[in-house]
Amino acid sequence: MTLLSGLKIKKLNYLITIIGPTAIGKTALSIQLAQHFGCEIISCDSRQFFKEMNIGTAVPNKEELAGAPHHFIQNKSIFENYSVGDFETEALLKLDELFDKNSIQIMVGGSGLYVDAVLKGFDEFPEINTEIREEINTKYDELGIEFLQENLKKLDPDYYTKIEKENPQTLQNPQRMKRFVEVCIGSGKPYSSFIGKRKNQRNFTPIVIGLEADREIMYERINKRVDIMMADGLLEEAKKLYPNKELNALQTVGYRELFDFFDDKITLAEAVEQIKTNTRRFAKRQMTWFKRTENTNWFDFKTDSKEIINFIEETTHNS
């Protein structure tokens, strides 16, 4: 018996994280990798959490779901409040469970905020008085999104400018804007002053794989996917969801445009064209976000999965 025989060597866990814009081929790659490494898949596509939304969110089909065990696919209802913080907590618990079976696991999705939540976690913010929250909600109901924008610009001008430059659609998101403003008012400090203060420990090493393509190719794939969705019954799916169109989960591309059609604001042809246009814009924002993701290893979307597998194996062996 050697001196080392009684020591338990701590294994290293690796979370292979596949990112990239919509319709780039992340699902197919994730299944190929899961089959090779004998592991499971955590989905971090925030639109695919909801069981009532299927066609418009490009949920993996039955064959794809059968190709490897998936988690966080259609596991919630649109009537539930489900935040990115909730997802972070649940995903980390699930990963702890999965790493007990295999030291390599896979996460895949196009929701940058949700990817960051798992890989890095969130900063810690102060508790906010409920009266402040209620007052902000009341003011928003009276004055609209401009009230929130003006307050954030006044209370945290640097952060406002950063959002305006890097993620302008956030300025139109009432939930997130309310949160920014309530933290500023409730703490008496800029929202941005709380960012980056907390170090979140993770029991895994991320290996981030990014898929990309020339913009023209990416846009062509998006247009084709929308046509397929319409042929597969997206209009009928949206019609069933229309009575609940005010729900937060349904404030998303592919449904909003068809709701406008049902409201006689636009024609069906215009709605389909707007879905394509808005999805292309969404993909562009996704790439802007993901290009800031640290230590991403970028591959052309046509790269053979064997090449990516070899890269992963070399990376884990050299760690």
Known binding-site residues for ATP equal 20-27
Binding positions for substrate are 22-27
Q: Read out DSSP for 113-155?
A: HHHHHHHT---------HHHHHHHHHHHHHH-HHHHHHHHHHH
Contact 40, 68 (CB under 8 A): yes
Task: Give the Å distances, CA to CA, from 24 to 133, 168, 225.
Answer: 40, 23, 10
Report the side by side order of strands in the sheet with 14-19: 70-71, 41-43, 104-108, 14-19, 205-212, 296-300
**DSSP state for residue 74 in the 8-state scheme:** S
Amino acid identity of residue 276, one-letter, is K
Contact 269, 227 (CB under 8 A): no
**DSSP state for residue 7 in the 8-state scheme:** -
Q: Cα 134 to the chain's mean position, in Å?
A: 28
What is the C-alpha separation between 23 and 220, in angstroms, rounded? Answer: 10
What is the C-alpha separation between 66 and 70, in angstroms, rounded? Answer: 9
Binding positions are 20-27
CA torsion angle 154 293 251 70 (round to 10)? -150
